[in-house]
Amino acid sequence: METLVKEKIEIAPGLLEKISTQEEKQVIIHAVVKGFSIGECTVRVWPTIYLIPNGANHKCKLLHHFNIVMYPQWQALAANETLNFTLIFEGLPADCTTFDLVEIISEPNPFEVRNISRNEQDVYVVKF
């Protein structure tokens, strides 16, 4: 799995409005997942997906999810279909420089990206 970081990402006004009641510090993860090359596959996110600052025992909880379903539902992807979704998490500690995105589940193939370097905007793009 690889991590992609863009210079600056514009956030849709509607998305900003939905999260405006939350605390100031939040982390936005724009994610991309591609379906299998042959046949349909299914995806979903679990409420047990966290941002975990490296070197800390703290877990930043998921606050909102957009364009992906939450467990126990499934979302089908056609062959080669790409799904773009957004996850919004609690803010990272001020001293955090790297963190992991980890979905803690008892099934195979969790969403996971390790050692993400923190940026000033706390907005990231990851590809699964």
pLDDT digits (tens, 9 = 90+) for 40-74: 899 999 999 999 999 888 999 999 999 999 999 99
How many CB atoms are located within 10 Å of the residue 92 CB?
Answer: 21
Residue type for 80, please? N
Q: What is the pLDDT of residues 78-89, one digit of tens each?
A: 999 999 999 999
DSSP letter for 108, please: S
- Average pLDDT for 19-32: 76
**pTM of this prediction exceeds 0.85:** no
How many CB atoms are located within 10 Å of the residue 31 CB?
Answer: 22
Domain coordinates of the chain in residue numbers?
2-8+44-127
